[in-house]
C-alpha cells in the first residue's frame, strides 16, 4: 500500500485578489500543505496542475516552498502553467524539475504515469499550432 499527497490549483501569482481569488495567499496555503504532508507517512506528493496562475518567474516562489517536502514531489502540467511567454513554454517542465512532460515513476510494485494533457491545445504550444493550421 502507498499513500500519496495530492494538491491542485495553487494558481500563485504576485497580483492583487480579483473576483474572490487570492493569488498571493497560495504560498501560505502551500506551506500549510507541505507541513501536513510532512507529518504523514507518504510515498510522494503530486501537484495535479496549475501551480502558477501566470508568469514564469512565479514558479521559483512555489518551488522554494515545495522544496520543504520530505518526500519527492511530482508534477502534472495544467493550462495555467502555460500562461507564460511563448518562448518560455518549452521550459516550463524543466522549471518544475520534471524529467519530461511525460514520465513514469516506479514506487514499489506500482508504476505511475504522468501525462501532459495540454499537448493538443492552443495555449500550450501556440506557435506550433499556428504553423500547423496554415
Segment 9-35 mean pLDDT: 94
**Tens digits of per-residue pLDDT, 52-71?**
999 999 999 999 999 999 99
Segment 104-124 mean pLDDT: 90
Range of the domain at 117: 4-133
Question: How many other CB atoms sit within 10 Å of the CB of residue 60?
Answer: 9
Confidence of residue 123 (pLDDT cuts 50, 70, 90): confident
Q: Specify the CATH number for the domain of residue 61.
A: 3.60.21.10
What's the structural domain count of the chain?
1
Strand extents, DSSP E, the chain: 4-7, 44-47, 73-75, 103-107, 110-114
Of the candidates 115, 104, 97, 33, the one whose C-alpha atom is nearest the C-alpha of residue 70 is 33
pTM for this model (two decimals) = 0.88
pLDDT at 127 over 90: no
Amino acid at each position: 500500500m502507498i499513500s500519496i499527497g495530492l494538491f491542485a490549483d495553487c494558481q500563485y501569482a504576485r497580483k492583487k485578489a480579483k473576483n474572490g481569488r487570492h493569488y498571493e495567499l497560495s504560498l501560505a496555503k502551500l506551506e500549510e500543505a507541505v507541513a501536513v504532508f510532512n507529518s504523514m507517512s507518504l510515498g510522494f506528493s503530486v501537484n495535479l496542475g496549475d501551480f502558477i496562475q501566470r508568469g514564469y518567474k512565479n514558479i521559483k516562489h512555489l518551488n522554494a516552498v515545495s522544496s520543504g517536502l520530505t518526500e519527492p514531489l511530482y508534477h502534472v502540467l495544467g493550462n495555467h502553467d502555460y500562461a507564460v511567454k511563448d518562448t518560455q513554454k518549452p521550459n516550463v517542465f524543466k522549471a518544475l524539475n520534471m524529467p519530461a512532460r511525460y514520465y513514469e515513476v516506479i514506487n514499489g510494485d506500482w508504476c505511475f504515469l504522468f501525462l501532459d494533457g495540454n499537448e493538443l491545445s492552443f495555449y500550450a504550444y501556440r506557435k506550433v499550432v499556428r504553423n500547423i493550421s496554415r
